[in-house]
């Protein structure tokens, strides 16, 4: 039985996965731009309200990761929003997050040029998530 | 055509297109069709004071004209949009009619956003951040190039930081584009050429982007075909309404193509060269195009073959690789034929800034979609050096 996405347990495992990924550490060594928050839009049954994942990233390290409200998540300098199904596609590597933003499948609040420079880091964040045994509530 | 078995894409192009000589006189009727009562005309000072184009649109709107905001400069800025929105709000505008080129239409998109959402444009930096349709927007282009009348982008200069901000959101795609060839006849040859090559580059990059798909292919390829025929005529005889009309259609086709398939390194370079050195966007695209094509040729030679065929190049006996190189040569010759420079050196870009330009281009959203993946600014610098010298 995998860890439910999103949940406190999943996010704890995600933080560990990021910090155990040497490719992420190398690929995002110049990330000094603050927190990246992910907002998963509500979907019933299973996710009754919009939910945020707060990732405090600094120079290749995830210093903190926690479940937050969507309102809290919106305070992050970079906030990426998507439907539950879209995040599933990201986690299953069916959707590249930066391309997803430009196609309108995900929404980015924040400075696009800064994100564009982090293609490798974004890939490795996804790869890190891919190492977690994840359970989706709609499967 | 090399489509993968698992092809998957989104295509969005909701703009109503109104085409025809004199069609700008339909602006008032189209506004009514949108259910709006008061439209702010957004334009530039030259068009307002030195031509009768704005007056024609104003006449069509009649009492539905809320006022004219004519302070849009060639590279519009955040402060211009904030001022335009304040003006529109004061006049009670419930719609925008942009009359002009890319800078005017992008300003119109920004004003439409602020009239609906409030605040400052910088509050909406990002991609796809909006959640609802914006203030209704009619575009009446007076150049045939940018395609902004159908795209989801607005490129706005941050004058303080000397960079171009790209806003992308499906909710800012204009509702209506009115393509009136008569409005473009006064465009001087050099601007006709530069804006036309901008449209050409949209078609070409959409065809070869990492996100290419069949619908944008069809639009981009036909745009290349039309421009190859019509642009030299429009440059040499600006009064040729048939050529002007085909150029307007081509620019709109190419705009819809790249608004979906995206653009690549050509635009990443042109955005930086424009922001840092004031080179006209279309001219910068025209200069960069053949050099980026050579850089990408190993990856998308078959695509460039289509471009060469659309341009009428004889490719009998050519491999795709050879055809791709011929396409690059044909594009370079085409730019020269319509009177544009072929090197960044000619337009005053200092050689010692190329490295900084290459570094800045790595942060441009367009680079994500380049046909050949780019992760090293040294690759961009190699292309830019060739484009600076104009060497093949």
Q: pLDDT tens-digit profile of B220-250? A: 999 999 999 999 999 999 999 999 999 999 9
Whether A26 has its CB under 8 Å from any CB of chain B: the answer is no
pLDDT of residue B254: 98
Tell me the two tokens of residue B48.
């307002």
Which residues have C-beta within 8 Å of that of residue B309, sequence separation ≥ 6?
A: B315
B390/A contact by beta carbon, under 8 A: no
**CA atoms of B258 and B276, how far apart (whole Å):** 24
pLDDT of residue B1 exceeding 70, the answer is no
Encoded tokens for A38: 């992910």
**Overall average pLDDT of the A39-60 stretch:** 92
Does A133 reside within a domain?
A: no
Contact A116 B364 (CB under 8 A): yes
Q: Nearest CB to B127: which of A108, A117, A120?
A: A108
Chain A residue nearest residue B124, CA to CA: A109
Average pLDDT, chain B: 95
Q: Is residue A97 part of a domain?
A: yes
CB atoms within 10 A of CB B317: 7
For residue B297, give Cα distances in angstroms to A130, B21, B209, B214, B307: 34, 40, 12, 20, 12
What domains does chain B contain, in order, with CATH numbers?
Answer: 16-184 (3.40.50.1970), 189-389 (1.20.1090.10)
Contact A112 B166 (CB under 8 A): yes
* Over residues B255-275, mean pLDDT: 95
Q: What is the mean pLDDT of residues B140-165?
A: 88
A30, A80, A95, A104, best to mutate vs chain B, most B CBs in 10 Å? A104
Residues 6 or more apart in contact with residue B212 via CB below 8 angstroms: B206, B261, B303
Domain presence at residue A134: no
Asked if B239 has any chain A CB less than 8 Å from its own CB, the reply is: no
Distance from CA of B277 to the nearest CA of A (A): 19
The DSSP call for residue A105 is: S
Neighbours of B313 (CB within 10 A): 18
CB contact (8 A) between residue B128 and residue A108? yes
| B362 at A interface, C-beta within 8 A | yes
Nearest to B127 among A112, A114, A119 (CB): A112
Which chain B residues in 120-159 lie under 8 Å from chain A, judged by CB atoms?
Answer: 125-129, 152
DSSP B137: E
Distance (Å, whole) CA A56 – CA A32:
10
Which of A43-47, A56-60, A82-86, B186-190 has the weakest average pLDDT? Answer: A43-47
pLDDT mean across residues, chain A:
91
Interface test with A, best of B6, B9, B126 (most A CBs within 10 A): B126
- CB < 8 Å to A99, chain B: 211, 368-369
More confident residue, B124 or B217: B217
Assess contact for A15 and A126: CB atoms under 8 A.
Answer: no
Q: Which two tokens stand for residue B328?
A: 């690059």
Cβ pairs A/B, distance under 8 A:
60
pLDDT of residue B314: 96
pLDDT of residue A98: 83
Nearest to B163 by CA among B361, B353, B388, B349: B361
CATH number for the domain including A97? 3.30.1050.10
What pLDDT score was predicted for residue B74? Answer: 87
Per the listing, tokens 């030679």 go with B301
Contact between chains at A104 and B362 (C-beta distance less than 8 A): no
| Domain contains A135 | no
Which of B84-88, B162-166, B168-172 has the highest average model confidence (pLDDT)?
B84-88
ipTM greater than cut 0.85: no
Spatial CA neighbour of B274 closest among B47, B72, B74, B43: B74
| Angstrom distances, CA of residue B240 to CA of B55, B140, B164, B226, B304 | 22, 19, 34, 14, 30
Out of B125, B128, B364, whose CB is closest to A107? B128
3-class SS of residue B35: coil
Residue A103 resides in a domain = yes
On the question of pLDDT at B160 being above 90, the answer is: no
- B39 and B64 Cβ atoms separated by less than 8 Å: yes
Res A44 pLDDT > 70: yes
In a domain, A116, yes or no: yes
Can you tell me whether residue B61 is helix, strand or coil? helix
DSSP secondary structure code for residue B2 in this structure:
-
Q: Does A98 reach chain B within 8 Å, measured CB to CB?
A: yes
Cβ partners under 8 Å of residue B333, min gap 6: none
Q: Please provide the size of chain B in residues.
A: 392
Compute CA B390 distance to the chain's CA centroid, rounded to the nearest angstrom: 23
pTM of the full structure: 0.90
Residue numbers in A near B128 (CB within 8 A): 101, 104, 106-108
Q: In A, which residues are within 8 Å of B168 by CB distance?
A: 102, 112
The shortest C-alpha distance from B358 to chain A (Å) reads: 13
What percentage of chain B exceeds 70 in pLDDT?
99
Looking at the domain assignment, is residue A55 inside a domain?
Answer: yes
* Calpha distance B154→B301 (Å, rounded): 30
In-domain check, residue A138? no
In this complex, the residue of B127, B163, B364 whose CB is nearest that of residue A107 is: B127
Residue A53 has pLDDT above 70, yes or no: yes
Residue B159 clears pLDDT 80, i.e. is over it? no
- B119 and chain A in contact, CB less than 8 A: no
Is there a contact between B129 and A112 if contact means CB atoms under 8 Å apart?
Answer: no
Q: What does the pLDDT read at residue B269?
A: 97
Q: What is the pLDDT of residue B122?
A: 85
Q: Count the helix, strand and coil residues of chain B and give each as a percent rounded to the nearest 5.
A: 60, 10, 30
Going by C-alpha positions, the residue among A60, A59, A103, A28 that lies closest to residue B365 is A103
Tell me the residue range of the domain where A60 lies. 3-127
Is the pLDDT at A111 greater than 70? The verdict is yes
Please give the average per-residue pLDDT across B90-112, as a whole number: 97
Using a CB–CB cutoff of 8 Å, tell me whether A107 touches chain B: yes
Encoded tokens for B323:
């055809």
Model confidence at A136, pLDDT cuts 50, 70, 90, reads very high
pLDDT at B308 over 90: yes
Say what the pLDDT of residue B5 is.
Answer: 85
* Burial of residue A40, with CB atoms counted within 10 A of its CB: 0-12 exposed, 13-18 middle, 19 or more buried: buried
Question: Structurally, how many domains does chain A consist of?
Answer: 1
Q: Name the B residues in 59-78 with CB < 8 Å from any A CB.
A: none
- A119 to chain B, any CB pair closer than 8 A? The answer is yes
User: Which chain A residues are Cβ-neighbours of B365 within 8 angstroms?
Assistant: 102, 112-113, 116
> How far is residue B339's CA from residue B234's CA, in Å, rounded to a whole number?
12
Residue A105 in tokens? 């499948």
């Amino acid at each position: 039985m995998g860890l439910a996405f999103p949940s406190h347990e999943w996010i704890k495992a995600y933080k560990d996965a990021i910090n155990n990924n040497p490719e992420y550490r190398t690929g995002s060594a110049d990330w000094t731009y603050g927190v990246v928050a992910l907002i998963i839009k509500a979907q019933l049954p299973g996710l009754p309200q919009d939910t945020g994942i707060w990732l405090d990233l600094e120079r290749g390290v995830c210093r903190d990761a926690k479940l937050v409200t969507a309102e809290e998540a919106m305070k992050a300098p970079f906030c990426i929003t998507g439907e539950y199904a879209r995040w599933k596609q990201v986690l299953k590597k069916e959707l590249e997050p930066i391309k997803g933003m430009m196609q309108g499948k995900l929404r980015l609040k924040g400075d696009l040029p800064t994100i564009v420079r982090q293609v490798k880091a974004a890939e490795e964040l996804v790869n890190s998530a891919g190492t977690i045994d994840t359970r989706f509530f709609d499967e | 055509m090399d489509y993968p078995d698992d092809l998957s894409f989104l295509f969005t192009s909701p703009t109503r297109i109104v085409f025809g000589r004199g069609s700008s006189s339909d602006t008032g009727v189209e506004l009514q069709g949108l259910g709006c009562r008061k439209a702010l005309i957004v334009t530039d000072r030259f068009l307002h004071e030195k031509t009768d184009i704005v007056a024609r649109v104003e006449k069509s709107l009649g009492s539905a004209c809320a006022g004219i905001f004519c302070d849009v400069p060639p590279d519009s800025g955040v402060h211009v949009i904030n001022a335009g929105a304040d003006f529109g709000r004061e006049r009670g505008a419930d719609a925008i009619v942009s009359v002009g080129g890319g800078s005017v239409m992008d300003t119109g998109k920004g004003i439409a956003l602020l009239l609906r959402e409030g605040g400052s444009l910088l509050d909406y930096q990002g991609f796809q951040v909006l959640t609802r349709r914006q203030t209704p927007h009619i575009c009446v282009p007076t150049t045939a190039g940018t395609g902004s009348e159908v795209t989801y982008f607005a490129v706005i200069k941050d004058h303080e930081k000397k960079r171009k901000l790209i806003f992308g959101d499906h909710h800012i795609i204009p509702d209506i584009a009115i393509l009136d060839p008569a409005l473009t006849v006064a465009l001087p040859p050099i601007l006709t050429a530069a804006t036309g090559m901008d449209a050409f580059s949209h078609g070409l990059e959409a065809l070869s982007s990492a996100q290419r798909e069949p619908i944008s292919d069809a639009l981009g390829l036909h745009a290349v075909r039309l421009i190859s025929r019509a642009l030299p005529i429009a440059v040499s005889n600006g009064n040729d309404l048939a050529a002007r009309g085909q150029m307007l259609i081509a620019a709109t086709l190419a705009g819809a193509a790249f608004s979906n398939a995206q653009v690549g390194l050509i635009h990443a370079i042109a955005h930086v060269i424009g922001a840092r050195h004031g080179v006209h966007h279309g001219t910068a695209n025209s200069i960069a195009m053949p050099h980026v094509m050579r850089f990408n040729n190993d990856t998308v030679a078959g695509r460039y073959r289509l471009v060469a065929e659309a341009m009428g190049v004889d490719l009998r006996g050519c491999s795709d690789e050879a055809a791709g190189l011929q396409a690059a040569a044909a594009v370079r010759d085409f730019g020269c034929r319509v009177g544009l420079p072929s090197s960044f050196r000619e337009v005053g870009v200092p050689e010692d800034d190329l490295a900084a330009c290459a570094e800045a281009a790595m942060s441009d959203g367009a680079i994500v979609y380049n046909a050949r993946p780019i992760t090293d600014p040294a690759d961009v610098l190699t292309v830019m050096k060739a484009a600076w010298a104009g060497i093949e």
